Amino acid sequence: MLRRIDVVTLFPDWLEGLKALGLTGRALAEGRILLKCWNPRDFAQGVHRSVDDRPYGGGPGMVMRPEPLARCVEAVLAEGEPAPVGCLTPQGRVVDQTAVQELASRERLILVCGRYEGIDERVMEALVDEEWSIGDYVLSGGEPAAAVLMDAVIRLQPGVLGHQDSAAQDSFADARLDCPHYTRPETWRGQVVPEVLLSGDHARIQRWRLAQAVARTAHRRADLLQERPLSRQERQAMEEFDLAGGAIDQESGLK
Ligand code: ADE
């Protein structure tokens, strides 16, 4: 269970929303998790406290200087339990729900946010243990990526979601997307709620949701199903609600 997150950032304001709002705000306010931000500028010397410099070899942009960042990360490591140092960069392992679950089960996360063109590679080698990306696109810094990762990890902590099993039903929880959801009114602009959801037959509702989830995954993210065969339960649910209709083949689980 996560007890503490340390974020190394030149722009701690980026994380204010996470502290103030929603589930993450509440989890942090209740003291379930300690969030501490560290600014490399506080570890920089000289009148200008400069944290970046021009890249050797030329080229556009600036690079984060090694010494202020290294001192800052070392100060983080000197406080509290040992933990791997993670850095948010587009070069990292792409975060998926499996990675989120793995990170959520740790006691402490240390996240370093890069800025400018990047971080001096020697600091990466000396102090960073793992690199994380939130997708194949480039942000202007690691902060929004760290906020995304923290949100995903905090909501999995015991007691943070209202419903104990909400997380088990998330999209990607079993390598499939989530099913559709409906609330009142029963008819909205001529569209009605699927009859099964009004039936009160909870086992049937569960099978319908499973069938819908698999059908959606097959249509929108067939890649998720390519990695595993459909389970007997999934197959039967698809057949019961007539969603299998030519949609399953041996090799991919789909047609
Ligand atoms: N920093 C810049 N782009 C990023 C991305 N896609 N993921 C994580 N950190 C980043």
Question: 174, 222 in Cβ contact below 8 A?
Answer: no
**Model pLDDT, residue 251:** 44
Q: For residue 145, how far is its CA from the centre of ligand 1 (angstroms)?
A: 6
pLDDT tens for each residue of 65-90: 999 999 999 999 999 999 999 999 99
For the record, the structure tokens of 68 come out as: 């202020």
Average pLDDT of the segment spanning 19-48: 96
- The rounded distance, in Å, linking the Cα atoms of 251 and 255 is 9
Catalytic-role residue among 40, 52, 90, 234: 90
**Model pLDDT, residue 174:** 87
Q: Is 152 in the pocket of ligand 1 (CB under 6 A)?
A: no
Residue 249 has pLDDT above 60, yes or no: no
Q: For residue 190, how far is its CA from the centre of ligand 1 (angstroms)?
A: 43
Q: Indicate the helix (H) or strand (E) that contains 237.
A: helix 232-240
Q: Would you give the DSSP letter of residue 106? A: S
Catalytic-role residue among 55, 67, 117, 221: 117
- Ligand 1 atom index nearest CA of 132: 8
The confidence band for 116, taking pLDDT boundaries of 50, 70 and 90, is confident
Residue ranges of the chain assigned to CATH 1.10.1270.20: 171-252
- Architecture of the domain whose range is 171-252: Orthogonal Bundle (1.10)
CA-closest residue to ligand 1 atom 10: 89
Q: 237 exposed, middle or buried (CB, 10 Å; 0-12, 13-18, 19+)?
A: buried
* Summary mean pLDDT of the chain: 93
49 is catalytic: no
Residue 250 has pLDDT above 80, yes or no: no
Q: Is 134 in the pocket of ligand 1 (CB under 6 A)?
A: yes
Q: Would you give the DSSP letter of residue 44? A: -
Residue ranges of the chain assigned to CATH 3.40.1280.10: 4-154
**Taking the model in full, what pTM does it have?**
0.92
Question: 32, 4 in Cβ contact below 8 A?
Answer: no
Assigned superfamily of 4-154: SPOUT methyltransferase, trefoil knot domain (3.40.1280.10)
129 is catalytic: no
Residue % of the chain over a pLDDT of 90:
87
Q: 7 exposed, middle or buried (CB, 10 Å; 0-12, 13-18, 19+)?
A: buried
Q: Is 56 in the pocket of ligand 1 (CB under 6 A)?
A: no
Catalytic-role residue among 170, 174, 178, 240: 170
**Model pLDDT, residue 200:** 98
**Model pLDDT, residue 252:** 44
pLDDT tens for each residue of 128-175: 999 999 999 999 999 999 999 999 999 999 989 877 667 887 888 788
**Model pLDDT, residue 43:** 98
Residue 209 has pLDDT above 50, yes or no: yes
